[in-house]
Amino acid sequence: MAARRILILPGDHIGPEIVAEAEKVIAVVDQRFALGLALEHGLIGGAAYEACGDPLPAETLERARAADATLLGAVGGPEWDDVDRALRPEKGLLRIRAELGLFGNLRPAILYPQLAEASSLKPEVVSGLDLLIVRELTGGIYFGEPRGIRTLASGEREGFNTYVYRESEIERIARLAFRLAAQRGGRLCSVDKANVLEATVLWREVVERIAPEFPEVTLTHLYVDNAAMQLVMAPKQFDVMVTGNLFGDILSDAAAMLTGSIGMLPSASLDAAGRGLYEPCHGSAPDISGQGKANPLATILSVAMMLRYTLGEPAAAAAIEAAVGRVLDDGLRTADICAAGREPVSTATMGDAVVAALGSP
């Protein structure tokens, strides 16, 4: 079998720190499950801007297209705040998502029972939580035109963006979400703001139109403000949530805290063929970078998603998830999930512990 190419894009700040731990895990599962993976490295974000003046160099994009899957750390940081908007690190991430057609962003918020105490909600509210947010990733207000900042006749400036969704964009994300819901608990909640925004009136209409294709799935709708409230009030009512780019960004950070920390939330960003880019949901955490404090588990769990969704290796994926569970059983906690009075472990110690747990039968 030809080697399967995995492109690694560490990015900025804690990006390289957490990706280094994920690479240790990849090396072990590659050997244990004879996966035949070939790793290569590329530049994205601020690191790429510093090296070649572009947050998504053409070479990175070409290699991502050629790779079977891509693993990304995180991009961004205050040192690039004053860079031209088109060249900011985040633009590199948005461009790679758009260029690769990665419209389907899966963000699973699963509470490891060992972390019930780390959640900001009461254990009984979150215990057993297993929620999947399906976020549309290449459309909506993130990409709508026109956009910009203009100066009015009065001399006052005005910033503007366009919230736009085509029917075909809504259909494909809805079908993905329905399909995933059918494979899970059979419940899909579509989140919109159809009481105010026309783009989401169409969203709701199209999601309703797709529903009969999936009679085994029960569809409900919520306005996003209510959805945010329900998510922190009674998160276990949800199985799969599907929503647009901006609402999905916000709701998934909120869902992350239900699981104890944003350092626990992995993601898969998939194209129409199921090829994908995998990354933690969190950012580059400049406030803790370089200190060995970052939780690498979201990135390690993103590797598990890569094995499951793109590489078709569910046993290797399950082994990683079980190893993470065992490490948490053993009481290892990075600072973000560590109870007061207990001693947190470093990023590298956490990665090494997952590797050790993978090695033991």
Residues annotated as part of the active site:
142, 193, 225, 249, 253
Instruction: Establish if 250 lies at the interface with ligand IPM (CB under 6 A).
Output: no
Instruction: Establish if 140 lies at the interface with ligand NAD (CB under 6 A).
Output: no
Q: Is 23 annotated as a binding residue?
A: no
For residues 72 and 269, what is the distance between their CA atoms, to the nearest angstrom? 11
Residue type, 53: G
Instruction: Establish if 90 lies at the interface with ligand IPM (CB under 6 A).
Output: yes
Residue 287 interacting entry, from ligand IPM, ligand NAD, Mn ion, none, C-beta within 5 to 8 Å by type:
ligand NAD
In sequence order, the 6+-apart residues with CB closer than 8 A to the CB of 172 are 103, 104, 272
Instruction: Establish if 136 lies at the interface with Mn ion (CB under 5 A).
Output: no
Which structure tokens are listed for 250?
Answer: 């916000």
Region binding ligand NAD by CB under 6 A among candidate stretches 61-69, 71-79, 103-111, 193-201? 71-79
Instruction: Establish if 54 lies at the interface with ligand NAD (CB under 6 A).
Output: no
Smallest distance from Mn ion to CB 321, Å: 23
Region binding ligand NAD by CB under 6 A among candidate stretches 120-128, 130-138, 163-171, 279-287? 279-287
For residues 50 and 83, what is the distance between their CA atoms, to the nearest angstrom? 11
Using CB under 5 A, which residues numbered 164 to 183 contact Mn ion? none
Q: Is 133 annotated as a binding residue?
A: no
**Which of 71, 94, 255, 354 lies at the binding interface for ligand IPM (CB under 6 A)?**
94
Q: How far is CA 341 from CA 4, 115, 335, 338, 344, in A?
A: 44, 16, 11, 8, 9
Residues touching ligand IPM, count (CB under 6 A) = 7
In sequence order, the 6+-apart residues with CB closer than 8 A to the CB of 58 are none
Nearer CB in complex with ligand NAD: 67/93: 93
Using CB under 5 A, which residues numbered 226 to 255 contact Mn ion? 249
Write the interaction track for ligand IPM spanning residues 268-297; mark x where CB under 6 A is met and - where it is not.
-------------x-x--------------
Instruction: Establish if 74 lies at the interface with ligand NAD (CB under 6 A).
Output: yes
Kindly list the residues in this chain that would bind ligand NAD in the complex (CB under 6 A).
14, 18, 74-77, 90, 93, 262-263, 279, 282-288, 294-295, 298, 336
